[in-house]
Amino acid sequence: MKHSTNVLMHTLFISDLHLSPVRPDITQCFSQFMRTEARQADALYVLGDLFDFWIGDDDPTPFAQQIKSEFQQLTASGVPCFFIHGNRDFLIGQRFAKETGVTLLEQETVIDLYGTPTVILHGDTLCIEDVRYLAFRAKVHKPWLQWIFNRLPYVLKKRIVKRVQSDIRSDKEQKTMAIMDVTPSEVLQVMKKHHVDLMIHGHTHRPAIHHLMESDNKVRIVLGDWYSQGSILSYSPQGYKLESRSL
């Protein structure tokens, strides 16, 4: 870990940036973040949905190159960087990791945050009432399907995703907000399974610090999306805060 003498120890968490070439304002805010405050951190964790869509590490576009370069420069400067897949960029693979110096973590990972064991995850798997999504997820996470998909030419993959996307969109429009939020019993179960009192996740785009009803010492921190502002969790041994940055 990198420790600066003049900046307090802290670790940064971000998620749900949904970076895409059609939102240069978000990309700009992200680049600025990576080149300035991220450089001062002990580590950066990206908890999924960094990209609006990532259909493979063979993405040849200058946009993909630009984002990879930001990570490469950050890790080269000595800041360890970790990534957990989201539901939109679960196809980020080892080639991306190698090119950027980013370490890919398991879906649910326990980290030691200055002495506090903490479970980190994207958050989609906590929404267990969203059964149609979970069925979709199980399908696209099948290793054999991904194996085949990863071997298709980039342009063909783009065409397939475009077709699947419109079916998905109309299905999502029929869901209620409650279905698309986390299920409290599942949150508690995951925290108990990992023997932790702190959980950090994204996905729901409902930034908040929740003190669990069932147990007064358990806390769930939800990261915000980057749709209309940058959203960052800064965690230090002295405390933590959810912050925003204007686009």
The window from 4-12, 125-133, 218-226, 230-238 that contacts ligand LP5 (CB under 6 A) reads: 125-133
CB of 54 to ligand LP5, least distance (A): 7
Task: Work out how close the CB of 25 gets to ligand LP5 at its nearest, in angstroms, rounded to a whole number.
Answer: 19
Is 149 a binding residue for ligand LP5 by CB under 6 A? The answer is yes
| CA atoms of 23 and 20, how far apart (whole Å) | 6
Tell me: does residue 220 bind ligand LP5 (CB under 6 A). Answer: no
168 is a contact residue toward ligand LP5 (CB under 6 A): yes
Q: In degrees, to the nearest 5, what angle opens at C-alpha 245 toward C-alphas 23 and 83?
A: 70
Nearer to Mn ion, 42 or 204 (CB): 204
β-strands 109-113, 116-121 pairing = antiparallel
Counting other chains too, the contacts that 28-32 makes at CB distance below 8 Å and 24 or more residues apart are 28/247, 29/226, 29/230, 29/245, 29/246, 29/247, 30/67, 30/70, 30/226, 30/230, 31/66, 31/70, 32/245
Is residue 180 part of the contact set for ligand LP5 (CB under 6 A)? yes
Is residue 175 near ligand LP5 by the rule CB under 6 A? yes
> What residue ranges bind ligand LP5 (CB under 6 A)?
53, 55, 87-88, 124, 127, 130, 132-133, 136, 139-140, 145-146, 149, 161, 164, 167-168, 171-172, 175, 180
